[in-house]
């Protein structure tokens, strides 16, 4: 009998998925880059002494942080391969610390600001994780993060029996979670986009190349059925489309 915790198996699959496509990530992560640009507008004008970035990946949001004169920065990601790509593509200041591991269960020490671009949807226990992150903040510390709302990829949900590894919460659910865990919601934004790709296979490939394809995407034999359905119902002269709902938050301790 396999005594391994199911969450361990989930974590291994996530690491494997992101590591496999680490080299292609930047080429396909156009939405994540756009989210990073918007999230960067939440950064304070005067940089805090110590900033932690969760799920830094290949450095899509890290680039924005490194334009600031930060005394200390800690970069975390679950995938060692992603970290290696980041190190090879960015000029890393000497005051940088790397922490490889699942942000939900590793110790970060104290920080003044925690940032996470398109990361929180991967949390399996968001309430517990928020409490842990709050405990990692110094007095007057805060968190800025972006994540995906419940409308994200709704066409896929209509087209197939899609089992996604990520948990999508509504804005109301996020607000309740933040209040429950003792955070003050300073500001937030919601954004909805329709992203076009040439065809359904191209859309699926894009998801795979950023390591975000669902662990169990289709039932047996369901791929061709999905493609036919998707091309029929969500195709335009500009290609097929998928909806993405994006949330941006700035929160602080009470």
Contacts of 238 (CB under 8 A, 6+ apart): 196
Least confident of 93-107, 127-141, 162-176: 162-176
Residue 135, pLDDT above cutoff 90: yes
Distances, alpha carbon 158 to alpha carbons 72, 165, 187, 221, in Å: 46, 17, 32, 17
Q: Which two tokens stand for residue 150?
A: 């419940």
Residue 24, pLDDT above cutoff 80: no
pTM of the entire predicted model:
0.89
Q: Percent of the chain at pLDDT above 70? A: 88
How would you classify the pairing of strands 72-77 and 50-54? Answer: parallel
Average pLDDT over residues 169-192: 97
Q: How far apart are CA 93 and CA 115, in angstroms?
A: 18
Q: Percent of the chain at pLDDT above 90? A: 67
pLDDT of 18 reads: 74
Mean pLDDT of the chain: 88
pLDDT of 215 reads: 45
3-state DSSP percent of the chain in helix, strand and coil, to 5: 35, 25, 35
Higher pLDDT, residue 28 or 131: 131
pLDDT of 59 reads: 96
Distances, alpha carbon 97 to alpha carbons 75, 92, 93, 121, 145, in Å: 6, 10, 10, 24, 20
pLDDT of 160 reads: 67
**Is there a contact between 102 and 78 (Cβ–Cβ < 8 Å)?**
yes
What is 6-150+166-194+244-253's CATH number, 3.40.1130.10, 3.40.50.150, 3.40.50.2000, 3.30.1330.10? Answer: 3.40.50.150
Q: How many Å is the Cα radius of gyration of the chain? A: 18
pLDDT of 14 reads: 74
End-to-end C-alpha distance for the chain, whole angstroms: 46
Least confident of 32-41, 196-205, 237-246: 196-205
Structural domain spans, the chain: 6-150+166-194+244-253
Contacts of 52 (CB under 8 A, 6+ apart): 73, 74, 75, 76, 108, 111, 113, 114, 115, 136
User: Residue 252 — very low, low, confident or very high, per pLDDT cuts 50/70/90?
Assistant: very high
Average pLDDT over residues 220-246: 87
- Tens of pLDDT, residues 46-64: 999 999 999 999 999 999 9
pLDDT of 1 reads: 44
């Amino acid at each position: 009998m396999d005594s391994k915790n199911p969450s361990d198996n989930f974590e291994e699959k996530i690491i494997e998925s992101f590591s496999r496509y680490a080299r292609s990530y930047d080429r396909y992560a156009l939405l994540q880059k756009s989210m990073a640009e918007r999230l960067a507008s939440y950064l304070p004008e005067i940089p805090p002494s110590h900033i932690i970035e969760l799920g830094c990946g290949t450095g899509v949001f890290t680039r924005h942080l490194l334009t600031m004169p930060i005394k200390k920065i800690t970069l975390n990601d679950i995938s060692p391969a992603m970290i290696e790509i980041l190190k090879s593509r960015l000029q890393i200041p000497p005051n940088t610390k790397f922490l490889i591991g699942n942000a939900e269960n590793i110790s970060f020490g104290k920080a003044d600001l925690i940032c996470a671009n398109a990361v929180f949807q991967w949390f399996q226990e968001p309430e517990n994780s928020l409490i842990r992150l709050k405990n990692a903040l110094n007095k007057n510390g805060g968190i800025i993060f972006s994540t995906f709302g419940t409308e994200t990829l709704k066409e896929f949900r209509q087209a197939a029996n899609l089992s996604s590894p990520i948990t999508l919460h509504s804005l109301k659910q996020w607000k309740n979670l933040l209040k429950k865990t003792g955070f003050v919601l300073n500001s937030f934004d919601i954004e909805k986009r329709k992203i076009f790709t040439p065809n359904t296979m191209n859309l699926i490939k894009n998801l795979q190349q950023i390591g975000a394809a669902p662990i169990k995407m289709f039932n047996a034999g369901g791929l061709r059925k999905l493609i036919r359905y998707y091309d029929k119902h969500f195709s335009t002269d500009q290609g097929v489309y998928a909806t993405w709902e994006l949330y941006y938050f700035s929160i602080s301790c009470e």
